Chain A
């Protein structure tokens, strides 16, 4: 019960902090002071208090988009362990459910974008669809590495086994899996070098342009949901990079939260020092991630490391 409460509190409260940390890091690199760390919380609160504007072209699908995407991310969050804190919902095969829940959220976000009848949003949806479908095999190959290493199809159990000290002889496998997962994290969360969430031109954005017509509480749901998604991928990456007993136990939860902030700072640093890829290059970047995942699996099988 304690685990469940801590899990829910972390899942519901912490995510917007990551966006603040990213913005702060970017501001630091740019030599500015930037908005306060807690700005995202304020933004969400402000949006929740507003009314809404809807396009005359839209149907209920447009209104369902933010709701379904937030609901799916929240449930996916119940499947991911947070350091020493057990996942709320653990069963064999929850890895698959995790990936497919995010898929459902994406389906409705893209459908909502097409509902406006705007070319810009259609373009955003189309690019999101293209990149997400290429990121999917990469994610599954990383999950396969995890499953094969830990002999389990459950995130909680897999990370639990990993945490009992598998770095060492497994290092090459884990390194390629981590790089693959990092690429998936950047792509799934629309960060540079795949997407730039901070430009002023609709043509250059992917995720942001899809949600252009949302306003008020709908937009609050979307912002909240996307920070939560970033948090979840950060959690996966963190536990793959640091599969150490240090994350287990009571102090582990604290360490985990600090680790999430470190992930956010790294994402921010990454956004500050590298440029966005040309759109035609992005598929290659994602295929490279899938190849890394495949390489991980190959090393596992060929090296007889299982």
Chain B
């Protein structure tokens, strides 16, 4: 009797001790260490393929977003249809408002921006699924100018800064960039 009780208590204790770190590690791995988690579960193939597909779709959406925004900003057209092909709200509205602001001041964006994005986290189990992207955006050649005389808008312009963005999977399967920020305080 006593032996069985002890054994039961020990099992319970073990379970509690084990459960806490396992839960913590599991959720930690989800975000930051997914390659290790993939190897751990003994079936690296299927989840790996899903993750790679998600990464690719997210990076495609990110580069599509930058290209669409460049086109729309070059024309100062907040309603450019390509924007909604790659961007979702709330970022979509923010980008549109920013383009409209420039348009109302007679300004357009010219030049090119250089991007070198990487994926920092993949959360396929989250609802909705998201992919976090980090980029060192080189904006030195991307200027805000007045349309009529091509004069650079005073106070505008940027260098190389860290940029972060989130790609989210929507019910129709599309991956779209729905939030993003340029960290001007973090040069890269």
- Do they bind each other? no
Mark B residues whose CB is within 8 Å of A: none
Where the two chains meet, the residues of A that have a C-beta atom closer than 8 Å to any C-beta of B are none
